[in-house]
Amino acid sequence: MAKLSEFNFNNKENNDKSNFEQDIYQKYNDYKNLSESQLNEELLKEVAKQKQNGSFDYNRLALMLESIRSSLGEDNYQKMKRILESLK
């Protein structure tokens, strides 16, 4: 399974939209069949890895969550906020 940390969100090396879309689709396929528990486990592994190498940015995640708040609905927003708070 590909790691989320290996995903190039900015895609600066290759501006080809189709490659970016393929990356997104691949990530979706990697995670779509995981249970909530398995997804949480993957998340915690990734956060631990990022904290260890100094790349974890809680503030950036908080800003991202706020930027998509209107798309989530209040229940999903509150759930995401609780998850984010647990990662501090």
Residue ranges of the domains in the chain? 17-54, 57-88
Mean pLDDT confidence for 18-46: 93
Q: Which pTM was predicted?
A: 0.68
With 80 as the cut, is the pLDDT of residue 25 above it?
A: yes
Residue 24 has pLDDT above 60, yes or no: yes
Cβ pair 3, 46 in contact under 8 A: yes
Measured CA to CA, the distance from residue 47 to residue 17 in angstroms comes to: 28
pLDDT in tens, 37-62: 999 999 999 999 999 999 999 999 99
Looking at residue 20, its pLDDT comes to 87
**13 falls in which pLDDT band (50, 70, 90)?**
low
Q: Is the pLDDT of residue 14 over 80?
A: no
